[in-house]
Amino acid sequence: MKTIVFDLDGTLLDSAPDIRATANTVLARRGIDPLTLEQTRGFIGSGARVFVERMADATGLDPAPRNIDTLEAEFIAIYEHAHDLTRVFPAVEVALEELRHAGWALGLCTNKPMGPARSVLAHFGLDQYFRAVVGGDTLAVRKPDPAPLRHVLRELGSDRAVYVGDSEVDAATAQAASLPFALFTEGYRHSPLEAIPHAATFSDFSTLPALAEDLLARS
């Protein structure tokens, strides 16, 4: 079965403005100045705990694990309902619809915690497309460990797939799972395209169905 698995933040969703607002609510309670959008984008990619650790480091908050636990819990409680500033990237729904219509099995592998991931997918009506979803807290390990991606493939009953993501973490995950990687160029990567291993890049979701066919045929 033709299978395609997607990352979420910075790939299907431009969610950094909501993640920033969530962080800034947590910081404001402590009288700390807000993060910029640029800082926020730089902290996204390795899940909520690492985000909160980076936020604490940048703002001089106590990095002790017990304090990070508190910050993370507060952050996730707000994050579950943070949808208003998030946008689905252009042509994503048309591409998902086209892929499904062409018989592809669709999965999602994100480092976003499962609660906020499920909630935002439902908010935008995207949950209907994905037959398997793994979040950053589903397993004991998260991307770039290949286990979450392999878990999605197992749930879909597939061994051949294309992985689509926006970051260094996604590229490393695809490489570790030996899958062709399509890099979306408009998300939250930190390095130039040449520095991120990929089988293909794209900036417009309307080109993805043809690109995915090509990558799978070559794999």
Ligand X SMILES: O=C(O)COP(=O)(O)O
Residue from 14, 51, 52, 205 binding ligand X (CB under 6 A): 51
d(CA 7, CA 165): 5
Alpha helices, DSSP H only, in the chain?
Answer: 16-28, 37-43, 48-59, 65-79, 92-101, 114-123, 147-156, 168-176, 208-218
Taking CB under 6 A as the rule, does residue 7 contact ligand X? yes
The 82-121 contact track toward ligand X, x by CB under 6 A, reads ----------------------------xxx---------
Which residues are catalytically annotated?
7
User: Is 204 known to sit in a ligand binding site?
Assistant: no
In sign, the C-alpha dihedral spanning 143, 147, 151, 157 is: positive
Residue from 10, 107, 144, 148 binding ligand X (CB under 6 A): 10
State which residue, 61 or 161, has the beta carbon closest to Mg ion. Answer: 161
Which has the closest alpha carbon to 110: 93, 90, 94, 126?
Answer: 126
User: Is 33 known to sit in a ligand binding site?
Assistant: no
User: Is 127 known to sit in a ligand binding site?
Assistant: no
Taking CB under 5 A as the rule, does residue 166 contact Mg ion? yes
Structure tokens at 149: 């991606």
d(CA 189, CA 110): 15
Looking at 8-16, 77-85, 94-102, 174-182, which segment touches ligand X (CB under 6 A)?
8-16
Taking CB under 5 A as the rule, does residue 18 contact Mg ion? no
Size of site (CB under 6 A) for ligand X? 12
Contact positions with ligand X (CB under 6 A) in 27-46: 44-46
Which residues contact residue 75 at a Cβ distance below 8 angstroms, ignoring those fewer than 6 apart? 22, 23, 26, 48, 51, 52
Using CB under 5 A as the criterion, which residues of the chain lie in contact with Mg ion when the complex forms? 7, 9-10, 166-167
